[in-house]
């Protein structure tokens, strides 16, 4: 591993190793999404990931486990980068409450939180967060999925796209429109295995092995008790769920991109005698990598301290992805033409990083958001 990254005050709570690599390699080969559960269940770290994002009030029933339940956002950022060094699909395929945890913790009543989080205390469980739609994409304002009030609850109709773990999840949060206009969007806890949901797995180039689903909802009944944020004003609901989720997790998605890029650098220079121009280029890229990595850490720290981040979290993700793309392209152009094993690994990294451009919003949208936000962001590393 490269010394430029190591830091003496950086306690190692996840040590990437051969076992994680073997699990990631198996995930890349799976033929059907159901295999994700079986492969992940064989990983000794899976129970620890199962608790990532579960609030402290719901401790594990197996307290001897090394768990990630109590880690801060900065630690989560570092964890994502380290996991992605092995393979980002470990993070996408891991059990745990994932993105849905933010919505349930932010919007849920005590009863809803108990019902949602208890399952992660007991057993490995997968969750999903269903926001994006095939026609409207992630433009939440144009959301078409409807939740129509009926006796005792709501009936959900519509389609969701690119839903991580949508094929295998045991629970999840879905966003649907109860009324026209921006305040008409609400979040619901739902059972992704319900008979009224039809789904298929999407074929992927980037992040191959991850399961992303198209889900169609035909009159799915959701009891009123599973609507999140009923005790909050409509103006507070969306801000407390979707926006809070994305602000916290966008830098972490950036960290995944940086982890993939660091691995690519590692592979590229392993067992090689670098020429002087190659060394100079690599040193420059390492310095830029470190600057962007620290920018993400800083934003996570500010969010954790409940200070307004100096940089828009979406722009942090954007900086990470742009740098990772440039770095991996540079490595591909500088790789020996006949070294197919190395080139294959670099091309895989290239495809994976392209997927991060889309995960949690594209760069154009983040630039627009930053442009319209006040005060303007103060720094750029690129």
Binding footprint of ligand FAD on the chain (CB under 6 A): 129-132, 137-138, 162-164, 207, 212, 355, 358-362, 364-365, 368
Cβ of residue 213: shortest distance to ligand FAD, in angstroms? Answer: 9
Cβ of residue 24: shortest distance to ligand FAD, in angstroms? Answer: 15
Nearest residue (beta carbon) to ligand FAD: 137
Cβ of residue 134: shortest distance to ligand FAD, in angstroms? Answer: 9
The angle, 0 to 180 degrees and rounded to 10, between the axes of the packed helices 18-29 and 73-86 is 70
Cβ of residue 132: shortest distance to ligand FAD, in angstroms? Answer: 3
Q: Which helix (H) or strand (E) holds 219?
A: strand 212-223
Q: Which is nearer to ligand FAD, 45 or 165 (CB)?
A: 165
Cβ of residue 93: shortest distance to ligand FAD, in angstroms? Answer: 11
Phi, psi of 53 (to 5 degrees): 95, -5
Residues 6+ apart with CB under 8 A from 341: none
Cβ of residue 361: shortest distance to ligand FAD, in angstroms? Answer: 5
Q: Which is nearer to ligand FAD, 311 or 359 (CB)?
A: 359
Tokens of 276: 């002087």
Q: Which is nearer to ligand FAD, 113 or 318 (CB)?
A: 318
| Cα 379 to Cα 86: distance, rounded to the nearest angstrom | 30
Residue 137 Cα distances to 3, 51, 161, 265, 361, angstroms: 41, 30, 8, 33, 10
| Cα 285 to Cα 288: distance, rounded to the nearest angstrom | 5
Q: Which is nearer to ligand FAD, 301 or 369 (CB)?
A: 369
Residues 6+ apart with CB under 8 A from 277: none
Cβ–Cβ under 8 Å, residues 59 and 118 = no
Q: Which is nearer to ligand FAD, 41 or 368 (CB)?
A: 368
């Amino acid at each position: 591993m490269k010394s430029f990254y190591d830091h003496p005050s950086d306690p190692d709570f996840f040590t990437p190793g051969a076992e994680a690599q073997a699990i990631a390699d198996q995930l890349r080969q799976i033929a059907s999404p159901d295999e994700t559960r079986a492969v992940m269940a064989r990983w000794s770290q899976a129970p620890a990931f199962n608790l990532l994002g579960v609030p402290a009030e719901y401790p594990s029933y197996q307290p001897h486990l090394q768990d990630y339940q109590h880690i801060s956002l900065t630690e989560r950022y570092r964890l994502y980068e380290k996991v992605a060094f092995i393979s980002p699909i470990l993070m996408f395929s891991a059990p745990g409450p994932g993105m849905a945890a933010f919505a349930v913790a932010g919007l849920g009543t005590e009863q809803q939180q108990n019902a949602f989080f208890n399952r992660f205390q007991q057993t490995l469980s997968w969750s999903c967060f269903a926001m994006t739609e095939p026609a409207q994409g992630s433009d939440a304002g144009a959301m078409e999925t409807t939740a129509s009030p009926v006796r005792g609850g709501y009936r959900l109709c519509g389609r969701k796209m690119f839903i991580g773990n949508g094929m295998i999840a045991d629970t999840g949060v879905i966003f649907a429109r109860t009324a026209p206009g921006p305040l008409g969007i609400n979040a619901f806890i739902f059972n992704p295995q319900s008979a009224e949901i039809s789904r298929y797995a999407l074929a992927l180039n980037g992040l191959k092995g991850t399961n992303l689903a198209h889900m169609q909802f035909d009159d799915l009944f959701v009891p009123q008790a599973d609507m999140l944020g009923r005790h909050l004003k409509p103006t507070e609901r969306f801000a407390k769920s979707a926006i809070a989720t994305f602000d916290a997790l966008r830098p972490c998605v950036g960290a995944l991109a940086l982890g993939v890029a660091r691995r690519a650098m590692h592979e590229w220079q392993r067992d090689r005698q670098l020429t002087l121009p190659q060394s100079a280029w690599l040193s420059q890229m390492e310095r830029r990598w470190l600057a962007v990595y620290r920018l993400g850490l800083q934003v996570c720290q500010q969010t954790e301290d409940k200070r307004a981040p100096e940089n828009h979290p979406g722009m942090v993700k954007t900086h990470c992805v742009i740098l990772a793309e440039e770095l991996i392209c540079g490595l591909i152009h500088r790789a020996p033409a006949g070294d197919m094993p190395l080139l294959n690994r670099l091309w895989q990294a290239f495809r994976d990083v392209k997927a991060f451009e889309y995960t949690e919003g594209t760069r154009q949208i983040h630039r627009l958001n930053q442009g319209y936000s006040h005060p303007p962001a103060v720094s750029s590393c690129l």
